[in-house]
Amino acid sequence: MVSTHEFNRFKGNFVKPLLFVFGSFILGILACSNQPSITRAGDYASYFDDEWARQKFWDDGLAEVATYQAQRVVYNKVRQFDYTLITVKEDFNKAYNVKTDDYRRQDLFPVIKVNEFARIPTENYPYHYLTSLFFKRENPIILHKLTSSSQEWCGNTFKAITYNGNGFTYAFNSYWDNQGAGEIALKERALFEDQLPYTLRSLKFKANLTFQAPVYELQQTSKASPPQLYQATFQVSEAKEFTEETWLVTVQFAPDKQSQYWFSKKYPNALLRQKAYDGRTLELKNIRRYAYWQH
C-alpha cells in the first residue's frame, strides 16, 4: 500500500515535468504566431488567382510581346542577348491539343500561350531556344502542355510535356548520348521553373506571403535527362528598386539556389526583372501589344 507521503512525492515528480512540457509547447505556439505561415506542398493553389487570365484584357486579339536584355552563362562565359516573352490567348481543340483553325468545332477550349525565345551568340555558333507553354485559361498554375527545343551546331533537342490528370508525360528526342529518344512519367503534379515568369503574375500578392510548392527544374536546355524536383519556398515582399510600385518574389529552390522575380503591382503584373541562381538574368527593355503573326 502506497503512503500519502509517497503518493505526493510521485505526483510532484510526474506532474511538474508534464506541466513544464505543456507550457513550453503553448509558448512555442505563441512565439510563432507572428511568423509567416508555411503551407504543405499541394496547398499552394489558394495563393493564386484563377480569374487572373480570364480578364477582358486578354480578349483583344493581340499578343503581349515583352523584350528583355538578358544574360546567360554559355561555355563558362556570360553572354548578352535579347530574350522575348510572348503571352497571348488562343483556342485549342481537344482532337489535336493545338491551336485550332476551325472555330466552328465543338471541342474548343481557351488557353494562354507563353513563348520564351532566345538567340544566344557565342564565338563559334549561336544557340537558339524556344519554349512554348500552354495553360488552360482558368488555371494559371497547372501546366497543360510544354514544348521546348534547342538548336546549335552540335545538334537539336526537342521535349514535349503534357499534363495527364495526375502528373505529366515527358517525351523527348535528344542528341546526347545516354538520352536519345524516349518517354518517362513525371508523377508529381508540380510547377515547372520555366512557367514561373507567367504563373507568378497570378499570385494574390501581399507582403510576407510565404508558402512551399514542388518545382521541376528548368527545361530550356539541350539536355533531356529526368528533371530534378525541388521543394521550393516562395516569399513575397515589396520592392523599392523601381519608380513604379513593385512586388518581389524570392524562390529558394535549394540552400544554394535562389532566384528572384520582380513584377509590376499594376495589372497585368508584367515581369520587370529576373535573377536566377545559375546566372540567367532578364531586364525589361520594352513591352507592347500587337498581332506579331500579321505581316
pLDDT digits (tens, 9 = 90+) for 153-177: 999 999 999 999 999 999 999 999 9
pLDDT for 15 equals 44
More confident: 218 or 38: 218
**What's the average model confidence in pLDDT over 262-274?**
98
In order, the DSSP letters of 45-107 are GGGB-TTGGGSGGGGSS-EEEEEEEEEEEETTEEEEEEEEEEEEEEEEETTTTEE-S-TT-SS
User: Measured between alpha carbons, how far is 196 from 83 in angstroms, rounded to an integer?
Assistant: 15
Q: Which three cell numbers stand for residue 198?
A: 507567367
Contact criterion met (CB below 8 Å) for 159 and 176: no
Question: What percentage of the chain exceeds 90 in pLDDT?
Answer: 83
| Mean pLDDT of all residues belonging to the chain | 89
* Predicted local confidence at residue 241, as pLDDT: 86
Cell reading at 61: 486579339
Give the max Cα distance, the chain.
Answer: 101
For residue 245, give the amino acid letter.
Answer: E
Name the H helices within the chain.
Answer: 4-32, 196-199
For 171-212, the pLDDT digits (tens) are 999 999 999 999 999 999 999 999 999 999 999 999 999 999
CA distance 247 to 263: 5
The residue length of the chain stands at: 295
Kind of pairing between the strands at 246-254 and 77-93: unpaired
Of 187, 204, 185, 180, the C-alpha closest to 263 is 204
Q: Which pLDDT tens digit goes with each residue over 25-59? A: 343 433 343 444 444 445 899 999 999 999 999 99
User: Would you say 237 and 261 are in contact if contact means Cβ atoms under 8 Å apart?
Assistant: no
Confidence of residue 295 (pLDDT cuts 50, 70, 90): confident
- Asked if 215 and 194 count as a contact pair (C-beta separation under 8 A), the reply is no
Query: pTM value?
Result: 0.85
